[in-house]
Structure 1
Amino acid sequence: MLSLGALIWVSVRPLLRLVLCTGFGVLITRADIFPAVASRGAGQIILNITIPCLMFSKIVPAFSQNNIGTLGPLFLVAFIYEGMGLLLAWIVKQFFWVPHRFRYGILVAGGWGNYGDIPTSVVMSITAGPPFNSTNDQTLAVAYISAFIFVFFLTLFPFGGSRMIAWDFAGPEVEDEEMREVIRLKRRTVLQIWKKMSSIARRRLNVQALEEDDRYSDETEGKQLPYRTVLSGTQFDEECPLPNTAPGPLSTTSGNHKDSTGTPEDTTPIITVLPSETIVTTSRISYTAHVDTSVPHITSPAPTITHVDTVTQVEPHALRTDNTHAKPVRFDEASSSEPVTDKPTFWKRTFKRARIFLVSLSSPPSLSIIVAFPVALITPLKGLFVTLPNSPIPNAPDGQPPLAFIMDTANFIGAASVPLGLICLGAALARLKVPMSLTAWKAMPVGSISALAIAKIVVSPILGVIICQGLTSAGVIDKNDKVLRFVCIFFSCLPTATTQVYLTQVYSSTGSAEHISAFLIPQYALMVIMMTVLTAYSINLIF
């Protein structure tokens, strides 16, 4: 067991290297030495060359038929984290206003974290020394990280996660004040419903208490009586509002009302909440659900198809809203009077989606992972690349496996992936536009920015520790595989991926990404503190 000082140092040391390397990217970008074109080219090198080489060089020696079962827990935890992030972002969206051009982007920001350079840098540094076994644990850790990276690419591109970013730019512009008003009305309705439900619950508890008192007094007199209704009739109707009500405009009518026999009824005013979608009606008061017709309907015609490098084609369809039912509408229907051609058949649509899926799946990082696993599990193939005991493949004249030079090349190129990725991360952060005036900050969605940062960097790690400990107790995660447990816990504290910045710039008609930048900076600032705490806690928990 490490001492407290050693534990803190082990947790802080990899983050210092991360900050320094990222800082170099910020400096050369601010000095105009590393322009956007160069950064984009470096990103293509990372995506197509260095990351595939790093994944292949770590997966082949690390995995075997003995530990291939760890892929199941890794994939499960990766999908859980993405689903949890989407849920947290959706909750933030319900209570805090979000710019119209970021209404789906916030979901992507919550679901997809930075699964590349940050965790690889930190995990490689931590597993390279005590309390881990530096000879094998570092390679094993990077191999485990490859499972998270594979899920990241699989869900973001082939499964269509990146399409949500394109949906943000479909339809006309909506002013921020309108978005604020929608959330304000939603919060007010939720608060009023909560207050009424709480009031009803308290009154019911009071009724039960009074009934219990009456029953007790009757029992003391030797007379066991059934429960009685204390508040009933008109008194209950007027003093105890019914549930599922919402405030609305009131209309009061009075006069002599007659029943079916013509007998005049009570002339007490009848209060009705409008517009009329009646849920519950009593003899005195009619309660109706409030439908706010003042909120404007938002229409979003579909933009043209966009093609992004290895990113799939996107066809975001919007909805036309009218007084009946919303239905999908094609862009050419809304903008042209010419007849619309027939829709493609089911098989054509299926073939097109399958082709897009396969094209996205054939990206170099995904291909390298897909190829590396069969090589790692098939002994004759693995013997061609790495030295194995009792290998069926004869060695080359130098005593090494015949294809060992490929592994040497992959290791050599893959070593450049992490530092180059951190430099590009610093360049991306340096180009983000930070509001410098108080007026600019007031116009920004500070509530949703802060809430998403807390959800991603504070709430998510707490839930991640609980989930991983639960899976360990259930036997899904091997308790003795300390590297596996550490990697699974560590991936719960990752900020939004900077990949979203590039995707937003591509899908945006102006090439800007002003909204995502405001959401990224607080997360990366908070990450340094929370990642140190999580690393120290997880090492102490595991060892």
Structure 2
Amino acid sequence: MSVASNSTLALAGTDDAGVGEVIWTSFKPILKMAAVAGGGALFARMGILTPEASKSNAALLMNFFLPLLIFSTVVPSFDSDSMTSVLVIILTGILYQVMGLVIGGVVKFCCPTPTTWRGGVLAAGAFSNWGDLVIAYTATLAKSRPFNGDMDANRGVAYSSIFMVSQLVVLFNLGGVNLVQMDFKKKVPDLEFEMIDPVRPLSLARTHSTPVVPDESSLKPGHTSEISFPSGSTTPEWPPKDGSHSRSISASSWDLAGRDNHAIPDPVAASTPRTTTLDTNKISRLLSMKCGKKDSKKEKKQVDFDSPSKLRRFWNAVSPFISPPGVSLVIALIVANVPPLKALFVTTDDFLSMPTAPDSRPPLDVIMEIGKFAGPLVPIMGLTMLGAAMSRLTIKSLPKGFWSTVSVMSVLKLVVGPIIGVVWTTQMTKHTSLIDPDDKMLQFVMILSSGVPTATSMIYMTTMYAPTEGDGAELSALSACLLGQYALMLVSLTALVSYTLLEVL
């Protein structure tokens, strides 16, 4: 008899009551999560959990509580023999995100969507709620059969955290957020053309002006010609203080320098009793000689000021990949794979000579206790903010037939996606050595992660980039898709978990 059959008999038996027990076991975590999310929605409606408060809580969760949760669950759950699980999760996460991107592309090209919601629909397909939803579900279900209680609970949270961190890297560090941002990028006007263009008519007018023959006095040696300006005007500075106008002025002087055989009078000065003629070639050379030194000095200073050091350039390139959750995961994996370091935090059979604390625990066990104490706040706070975000969803304007788009997106993500996830997980378990058949929690997390809705973080990103004016079609479309997916999730996730417990594990 297969392992899956033994697990099925141990869990539920073959009668109808056993199947009902499995369904209830699968649905009960959803009730718990719905209750917590409902509390968040209630407090949001009361004005207590405002968007500003949600933003602050999200920052606290991502930068403090989540790193503690990751460290306290990864260190005891991994060793050098289980590192293939990390590679499997990363590979699976990439597959699911590519699959979601394809789903978004199918919806974009085959269903009616707002013309301004092009990158957002791809992001809605690609990025799923691998954070609070999966962590809360695995932490709750790990206490039931066929899992091994606290050991599998820690593993489930660790696996879910790796899924989440892999998505955060793609979203924030590899440019996934640009999919959302591209919907709100407007064509920036050509400022250079706007500055240069007003000079063109003057240049053309001067081109067609009648040349003025210089008088004899202006040709005498030592004679100095002065440029006259309109009354009431001030002498223009050269170079201008505002560097933004340098291109227009240089273009004007370039027009002057290009006319070798004509002396061009100033339009205003030409109306005065005496017209002074100028040699434009000499003026251009004088201006370039005078201003070249100043410009070169200023430019050199600006280059010296703007040029970052090698260390700063290196930091600018690396800093996007340094986030508290990512750093916590890397440190935790290093500690988990080095027995002397691991023995500082948890009791291990690989290194028994480590001195203990006064309570006979490892020396740094207190750090693990802090993580176990604060870490469970991650799914609770996450679900609370999920409820608050859902309660603020508004649907103002949608194109005709958009609800068919919502239906297609929901079915593809929550029905077709899990089918692919089940096939991927079972085939990798049967035909490769990457997944241990006895590691039921890894298989469960991989399957569960394929059947969750779009990440609610898409709401915050869309709101952040959306302009204050406009009809808000992008946010309305995203809100409708989220409402449809989370409504279908109540049924689809229960069915997926029930099938996984009965037929896969």
Decide: shared fold, TM above 0.5.
yes
CA distance in 2, matches of 1:105, 1:23: 26
**After superposition, what is the alpha-carbon deviation per residue over 1:146-167, rounded to whole angstroms, capped at 9, x for unaligned?**
2211211110011100011111
* Counterpart position of 1:84: 99
- Asked if structure 2 preserves the Cα contact closer than 8 Å seen for 1:77 and 1:488, the reply is yes
What are the equivalent positions in structure 2 for 1:344-363 lying under 5 Å apart? 355=315, 358-363=318-323
Q: 2:466 aligns with which of 503, 508, 514?
A: 508
CA distance in 2, matches of 1:400, 1:482: 29
**After superposition, what is the alpha-carbon deviation per residue over 1:429-450, rounded to whole angstroms, capped at 9, x for unaligned?**
0000145xxxx56647223222
* Counterpart position of 1:414: 375
* Counterpart position of 1:50: 65
1:460 is matched by which residue type in structure 2?
G
CA distance in 2, matches of 1:524, 1:53: 29
Q: 1:374 aligns with which of 334, 342, 364?
A: 334
Q: 1:463 aligns with which of 420, 423, 427?
A: 420
- Asked if structure 2 preserves the Cα contact closer than 8 Å seen for 1:158 and 1:357, the reply is no
**After superposition, what is the alpha-carbon deviation per residue over 1:369-416, rounded to whole angstroms, capped at 9, x for unaligned?**
111110111111111111223433211122111111111111111111
**Shift, 1:66, TM fit:** 1.9
Q: CA 1:378 to 1:5, structure 2 compared with 1: closer, same or farther past 3 Å? A: same
* Counterpart position of 1:29: 44
**Shift, 1:477, TM fit:** 2.6
* Counterpart position of 1:520: 482
CA distance in 2, matches of 1:527, 1:354: 44
CA distance in 2, matches of 1:521, 1:75: 29
**Shift, 1:332, TM fit:** 4.3
Q: CA 1:381 to 1:334, structure 2 compared with 1: closer, same or farther past 3 Å? A: farther
What are the equivalent positions in structure 2 for 1:24-423 lying under 5 Å apart? 24-171=39-186, 301=187, 332=191, 337=196, 339=247, 355=315, 358-389=318-349, 390-423=351-384
CA distance in 2, matches of 1:97, 1:518: 13
**Shift, 1:452, TM fit:** 1.2
1:534 is matched by which residue type in structure 2?
L
1:499 corresponds to 2:457? yes
- Asked if structure 1 preserves the Cα contact closer than 8 Å seen for 2:29 and 2:141, the reply is yes
**Shift, 1:353, TM fit:** 9.2
- Asked if structure 2 preserves the Cα contact closer than 8 Å seen for 1:85 and 1:110, the reply is yes
CA distance in 2, matches of 1:431, 1:335: 42
2:338 is matched by which residue type in structure 1?
I
**Shift, 1:33, TM fit:** 2.2
- Asked if structure 2 preserves the Cα contact closer than 8 Å seen for 1:380 and 1:392, the reply is no
CA distance in 1, matches of 2:311, 2:110: 40
**Shift, 1:426, TM fit:** 0.2
- Asked if structure 1 preserves the Cα contact closer than 8 Å seen for 2:346 and 2:365, the reply is yes
* Counterpart position of 1:482: 440
**Shift, 1:456, TM fit:** 0.9
Gaps in structure 2 of 5+ consecutive residues: 1-8, 13-17, 197-244, 251-298
Once the two structures are overlaid, the 10-residue window that deviates more, 144-153 or 82-91, is 144-153
- Asked if structure 1 preserves the Cα contact closer than 8 Å seen for 2:426 and 2:504, the reply is no
CA distance in 1, matches of 2:448, 2:48: 34
**Shift, 1:451, TM fit:** 1.4
**Shift, 1:464, TM fit:** 1.2
1:21 is matched by which residue type in structure 2?
V
Once the two structures are overlaid, the 10-residue window that deviates more, 376-385 or 352-361, is 352-361
CA distance in 2, matches of 1:383, 1:157: 34
* Counterpart position of 1:312: none
**Shift, 1:530, TM fit:** 0.3
**After superposition, what is the alpha-carbon deviation per residue over 1:184-203, rounded to whole angstroms, capped at 9, x for unaligned?**
xxxxxxxxxxxxxxxxxxxx
**Shift, 1:473, TM fit:** 2.5
CA distance in 2, matches of 1:477, 1:541: 17
- Asked if structure 1 preserves the Cα contact closer than 8 Å seen for 2:127 and 2:455, the reply is yes
* Counterpart position of 1:236: none
2:414 is matched by which residue type in structure 1?
I
**After superposition, what is the alpha-carbon deviation per residue over 1:90-130, rounded to whole angstroms, capped at 9, x for unaligned?**
01111113223320011111001011000000111111221
**After superposition, what is the alpha-carbon deviation per residue over 1:482-520, rounded to whole angstroms, capped at 9, x for unaligned?**
111111111000111111111112222229633321221
Aligned residue for 2:407, secondary structure, equals helix
1:96 is matched by which residue type in structure 2?
C
- Asked if structure 2 preserves the Cα contact closer than 8 Å seen for 1:75 and 1:147, the reply is yes
CA distance in 2, matches of 1:145, 1:477: 16
CA distance in 1, matches of 2:193, 2:404: 36
* Counterpart position of 2:6: none
* Counterpart position of 1:230: none
1:422 is matched by which residue type in structure 2?
L
Q: CA 1:334 to 1:118, structure 2 compared with 1: closer, same or farther past 3 Å? A: farther
CA distance in 2, matches of 1:116, 1:334: 48
Aligned residue for 2:381, secondary structure, equals helix
**Shift, 1:24, TM fit:** 0.7
Higher relative contact order (CA 8 A, sep 6+): 2
CA distance in 2, matches of 1:132, 1:336: 70
Gaps in structure 1 of 5+ consecutive residues: 172-300, 303-329
TM-score normalised by structure 1 residue count: 0.66
Q: CA 1:63 to 1:106, structure 2 compared with 1: closer, same or farther past 3 Å? A: same
- Identify the structure with the greater strand proportion: 1
- Asked if structure 2 preserves the Cα contact closer than 8 Å seen for 1:54 and 1:411, the reply is yes
Q: CA 1:97 to 1:57, structure 2 compared with 1: closer, same or farther past 3 Å? A: same
Once the two structures are overlaid, the 10-residue window that deviates more, 30-39 or 133-142, is 30-39
TM-score normalised by structure 2 residue count: 0.70
CA distance in 2, matches of 1:120, 1:166: 28
* Counterpart position of 1:251: none
Q: CA 1:404 to 1:170, structure 2 compared with 1: closer, same or farther past 3 Å? A: same
Percentage of pairs with the same residue? 33
1:5 corresponds to 2:42? no
- Asked if structure 1 preserves the Cα contact closer than 8 Å seen for 2:113 and 2:399, the reply is no
- Identify the structure with the greater helix proportion: 2
1:428 corresponds to 2:389? yes
1:499 is matched by which residue type in structure 2?
S
2:333 is matched by which residue type in structure 1?
F
1:531 is matched by which residue type in structure 2?
L
